[in-house]
Amino acid sequence: MKKVILAFFVLFAVKGNAQNNCCNATEQFASLGSQAEFRGEHQLPKSGNSVKKTGSYIEFATPDGKKGRGYLIKSAKPSNEFLFVFHEWWGLNENIINEAEEWATTFNGVNVIALDLYDGKVATTREAAGEFMQQANEVRIRNIIQGAIDYAGAKAEIATIGWCFGGGWSMQAALMMGPQAKGCVIYYGMPERNEEMLQVLNCKVLGIFAEKDKWINRKVVGEYEKAMNELDKPYETYWYNADHAFANPSNPVFNETAAADAKAKTTEFLRLVF
């Protein structure tokens, strides 16, 4: 059954989004890596305050016969609850590891896995990040996500969270999980707007967006909300007077006030899940 579900999403990756003849939601966002203006919006990460590391890197089998990779912080007690964390266009860097550690501290009864969608590559320049995002293979990423779902197990209840590139993949992962999906948080990533894809969504979505974001803007989010309304799918959306990537403390455009409010709303949302 899992192979059938994965094949369904792979087919959509090939055919593209019915609402956009050029490409599907994830490809649309990945293509932004070629735009100089988009690259310029992402200033180089500055060194942040590293948190204590309690987790470790893991490998897991993926349906394509390869290995997936992630950073796991195990629950303080045995638990079937999981939070999947999806990185920005930079890759699984220190900022995302810190995020995973902080969420594990907030929800110490939950297993937290930060997934590596780039198979070990981490960008330190905007040019490299843009290239990695454009080169990211849709089918491979879906295999990584499915491998992580299998690693969590059939009884796992999973919520997802991601930022930027990972925000879109947070939503795609929730779509792949079926009834195992318990909640989805998307920070200024490309939301799915295809009603046929959204039909399989089994959880509520929390969307965090930025008014100054030129790409994931009111028009894009409005199309997603329209599709969700047509299908009677539950969601919440919040807008902040801030820039794309405003919640990343290692980004010079970090907006502390907006980020704190968004994190409080995210924490409240996830508490209802866990």
- What are the boundaries of each domain within the chain? 2-48+56-273
CA distance 176 to 5: 7
Max Cα-Cα span within the chain = 48
Which pLDDT tens digit goes with each residue over 71-101? 999 999 999 999 999 999 999 999 999 999 9
Which residues, including other chains, have CB under 8 Å from residue 4's CB and lie 6 or more apart?
none
Res 16: pLDDT: 42
Residue 255 and residue 248: Cα distance in Å, rounded? 8
Nearest to 206 by CA among 176, 150, 255, 167: 167
Of 43-47, 61-65, 86-90, 260-264, minimum mean pLDDT range: 43-47
pLDDT tens, position by position, 201-252: 999 999 999 999 999 999 999 999 999 999 999 999 999 999 999 999 888 8
Alpha-carbon span 265 to 185, nearest angstrom: 10
Tell me the per-residue pLDDT of 103-147, one tens digit each, with 9 for 90 and over: 999 999 999 999 999 999 999 998 999 999 999 999 999 999 999
CATH architecture of 2-48+56-273: 3-Layer(aba) Sandwich (3.40)
